[in-house]
A and B are shown apart, each in its own frame.
Chain A
Amino acid sequence: MKSSAMRDLMALTEREDVISLAGGLPDTSTFPPDSYASLMRTVAVNSCARALQYAPTEGLARLKRCIVDVMRAEGMEVDPDEVLVTTGGQQVIDLVCKTLVDPGDVVVAEAPTYPGAVPTFCAYQADVVQVTMDRDGMRVDELESTLDELERTGRRPKFIYTVPNFHNPAGVTLSLERRRELVRIAHERELLVLEDNPYGLLRYEADPLPTLFSLDGGNFVIYASTFSKILSPGVRLGWTVAPRPVLEKMNIGKQASDLCSSSLSQYFVAAYFEAGPWHEYVRSLIEIYRRRRDVMLDALAEHYPREAEWTHPQGGLFIWATLPDYIDTTDLLARALEQRVAFVPGRAAYVDGRGGSSMRLNFSGVNENQIREGIRRIGEVICEQVALYGTLTGAPPASDSTRGAAGSSAQTEPAAPMPDAELAKILRLPAKRKRAG
């Protein structure tokens, strides 16, 4: 569990006067209020009593047909009967743990992993084993050696948790080759994989890759997704498609948790998808988020010191930046908050205290000017700390200024693709060590 001091710090990131690059928020201000009003009116006129009533635990049939359409857009064919509607994608993680995990059971996750999954894994007392990532996502060679090692001690993971597309928080995407490898491993070892794919449709460059679910054919992959990023997190609706025995247990688990997800939300979302142009709305989001990603990448190049490195996501909502190991991003956040800007310290994405010099930056939740200003402010405090460390150790940093300062970066390194080329290094885990306190 995270320390309460860390939680206290994170609570301050929600202050109104803070430019928060800490959230995972889509920009819901892009949704037209007129459409919202008209959809709600449709629900009221056509389905008032039913929208105010309980829904089936597995979800409304109408909504499940919409989900089939969304999955088809990512190259998957499923039957509506195979779908379980959930209260956000988060509930899938919870239900999978509830169904499969007993205290002490091993769950394999990426390093770093989705920060929101960490408290869920901890709540079920899972023993989380994290596997390193590089620019091509989870290192499957390390996964295999980890599984071998676990097997030698008689331990078998209950499932492997992965976010293959535009990883939260790392921003990287699992390569096609590794997707095939991962599915092969799952088949050979008969291991379940939880594929969490909230961002797959938010791709800003390059061609889409097949999901693990489609490569697997529905044997070992539990698929999870959500309406949060393509429509609204406020509707709190996600879904899962899983091998039948697992799905049945998850259904029972969901009955115990909340009986059903909000009927009102389900009718609203069904009305929205049935009205037609949801692809257009997703395309409009892609345009907005691509620009914001580019603005953030440009701002990072301009304002972060040359000692910093970061990922170049092809989609999704996050960039993962890594600073020199003498900077602790939890402490840095305190100073950043003074400058009214926030990010997520990297430690939140690990279960064992690693990730201390990394940070997750979100580019979807605030506008371009706020991104520029937010990154400028964070860059300023990082530069101050880099310079301070230089004076303390008597070894001035490689440069006193940021990469973007006139001419400074061109002298020692190639200017443009630098962050991308260094991805493997960025995601390399720093050696585990006990914190000083």
Chain B
Amino acid sequence: MSRVAVLKGGRSLERQVSLKSGARVEEALARLGHDVASIDVGGDLVDRLLVERPAVAFIALHGRDGEDGTVQELLEVMGIPYTGSGVSACIRASDKVLAKHAMRDDGIPTPEFYAFNETAFRELGAAVALPVIEERLRFPIVVKPACQGSALGIKFARTPADVPTALVAAFSYDRKVLLERHVSGRDLAVSILDEGETPRALPIVEAVPREEDFYDFESRYVIGRTTFVCPAELPDQVAERAASLAIGVYELLGCAGFARVDMMLEADTEELYVLELNAIPGLTETSLLPQAADAAGIGFDELVERILDRAGEGG
């Protein structure tokens, strides 16, 4: 039993999800008998940590600052062990472009993509290259901000005329965006829980949109418009391949503690493609990691305890 600071909220666009994750973690920690200090991360974070003097920090932050290595770096400086991945893994995972380059270099399948900073368009005339990109990726093309964890800013471009609008929208969230080939198929999430020498892949969750012919990215965040199936009904060899890819990405990026890997099972080819890894996936009632853990017989309190046990291994 120790004094645990739960870091939640913050200023990222995923503040609300984080507040829910944090509140749920706090309840679990209290049930487990820990002494909990709740910190809504803001300008007084360092002061609060100095006052609270926690033995360990449970990071329930999502998105900018919390998931991208910033808060982790601060905790390193202050010598406070924390849950989940370390600074460098967080930096690699939160930047989809860095993560995808690492995957591609390592031979892990990820949808073909091109990424640009805003300056490429503003100062280097990259727009002229768009038709080439469009020809290579084929429509529809997914346009995403490089560092944004939620559905915000992710756009579908179905025709060349959609691309500039989609880019303007995506650049609202980040100065770097990627254009990615759209993989049409089944949307899978593989949660990873680190249990010592080898990370373990939990049962796979499949997100099934209600409107099958039109996949709206926002629907996965609207209750009732997407149903989640866990464990996903997949042939054994596909499930095994998905688990092994997820663990491969987890190790490649140097993660620790836990993570969630999102991937697509392409309908036409039956190939798996990794989209991204979330270093601090949601821990709310409807989040996928807790669902996956539950399917593996690990209740939420136990999940929190296991994550806490491995704190300090990310740095």
Name which of A76-84, A183-191, A384-392, A407-415 contacts chain B. Answer: A384-392
* Bound CA–CA A107/B177 (angstroms): 42
Residue in A12, A385, A391, A437 whose beta carbon sits within 8 Å of that of B172 in the complex: A385
B126-161 Cβ-contact flags toward A at 8 Å (1 or 0): 011010000000000000000000111111111000
Q: How far is the CA of A327 from the CA of B14 in the complex (A)?
A: 22
- B171 at the A interface (CB under 8 A): yes
Looking at A3-11, A143-151, A200-208, A308-316, the stretch in contact with chain B turns out to be A3-11
B172 A392 Cβ-Cβ under 8 A: no
With a CB–CB cut-off of 8 A, which chain A residues contact B222?
1, 3-4
A366-411 with Cβ < 8 A to chain B: 385, 387-389, 391-394
How many angstroms between the C-alpha atoms of A387 and B123 in the bound complex?
Answer: 12
- Known contacts A328-B169, A334-B172, A335-B172; decide if A392 and B215 are in contact (CB<8 Å): no
Q: Which of B207-224 contact A (CB under 8 A)?
A: 214-218, 221-223
What class of interface size applies to chain A in its complex with B?
A: 20 to 34
Complex Cα spacing A4 to B127, Å: 33
Cross-chain contact B13 with A388 (CB below 8 angstroms): no
Is B11's CB within 8 Å of the partner chain A? Answer: yes
| Also in contact, A326 and B168, with CB within 8 A (given A15-B11, A391-B122, A391-B127) | yes
Instruction: Select from chain A the residue with minimum beta-carbon distance to B64.
Output: A338
CB neighbors of A among B1-19 (8 A): 11, 13-17
Partner of B173, one of A331, A393, A435: A331
Contact pattern, B 269-313, Cβ under 8 Å of A = 1, otherwise 0: 000000000000000000000000000000000000000000000
* Contact B127–A334 (Cβ < 8 Å): no
Q: How far is the CA of A387 from the CA of B172 in the complex (A)?
A: 13
Per the 8 Å Cβ criterion, residues 147-197 of B in contact with A are 150-158, 162-173
Q: Are B13 and A9 in contact (CB under 8 A)?
A: yes
Q: Once bound together, how far apart are the Cα atoms of A208 and B166, in whole Å?
A: 45
The answer to whether B118 touches A388 (Cβ under 8 A) is yes
Interface assignment of B114: CB less than 8 Å from any CB of chain A: no
Residues of B within 8 A of A331 (CB): 152-153, 168-170, 172-173
Contact sample, A vs B, 16 pairs, CB 8 Å cutoff: A1-B222, A3-B151, A3-B218, A5-B151, A8-B16, A12-B15, A328-B168, A331-B169, A331-B170, A334-B152, A335-B171, A335-B172, A389-B165, A393-B127, A394-B127, A437-B154
Q: Which residues of A contact B (CB under 8 A)?
A: 1, 3-5, 7-9, 11-12, 15, 326-328, 331-332, 334-335, 337, 385, 387-389, 391-394, 434-437
**A-B complex: 3 closest residue pairs judged by Cβ atoms:** A392-B164, A331-B172, A437-B217
